[in-house]
Structure formats: C-alpha cells, structure tokens
Amino acid sequence: QNHMGKHILLSQRGVVEANTVTEVAKDYPCGFCGQEISDAACKIFIGSGKAISLCSEEYQFMIKAALKPSGAKPCTNAPLKCAATGCKKVHWKYNMAEHLRARHPTWEETWEPTRRDAMHSLITLSHDEETRLGIP
C-alpha cells in the first residue's frame, strides 16, 4: 500500500520518476498496480469491509484499518464509496477528489455540511502522511 500509494501521489503531483517499470495511469490509477481503473481487472469493490479486485497485484486488507495510518504504514489509500446521493461508485481514496470534480462538480456547494465535511476529512491527506511517504 505504501509503495504504490507513493507512486500514485508523485504522479498526481506531476513528479516524473526515472526508474519505474511502468508509468502510473493519469486517470484513476489502481491502488494495487497503478494502471487505469477502467481496465475491468482493476475495478475496485467493497465487500464485508474488505477491498475486492481482480487486479493481478490485489491483496486482502480491511478498509477501516487501511484508512488509519500507523508507524509502518503511513499510506491511507483505500477504497471509498462515493457519498453522493444515488452514486454507487467506489474509488481509491487518492482518486476520490478526481471523481467528485468530474461527476459531482458542485458537491462542495450543494452537499449538506455534515456529509460534505465527512467527505473532506476522508479524502484529505495529512501533512504527516505526505511527509512519511516522501511526497514533495
């Protein structure tokens, strides 16, 4: 989770990494492999509190635990269900802001404050997380 999370965040910030085997997808990268989620194999689901995917790099983890940083694991990139009314999409935390901008562009103005603030707190990365992952 830390390894791919770092690659995704660096890519989202426009940092070009010299020694990577494959480039991270620009749109909605998979949290397991970094390739685009539109590839059917990399779609992400949530089942019984676990991340579920057919990605070849997929591994089992509990989402609630993954959203809490720890000493060895500062990365909190885990699947989240979109909280927009009627939206059933699931995206990785690091991709959720992109989804909200693309599919729900007025969410910050139109969602009731409690729901809006809860989503903000879910998708906002802490300075500590970025620092510990080596994100400039």
pLDDT score for 39: 65
CB 8 within 8 A of CB 77: yes
pLDDT, residue 128, reads 96
Rounded alpha-carbon distances, angstroms, from residue 130 to 6, 62, 75, 80 = 9, 22, 8, 19
Across 1-136, the runs of DSSP E, i.e. the strands, are 44-47, 50-53, 79-81, 90-92
Shortest CA distance to 79 belongs to which of 69, 89, 93?
93
Q: Which residue positions in the chain have pLDDT lower than 50? A: none
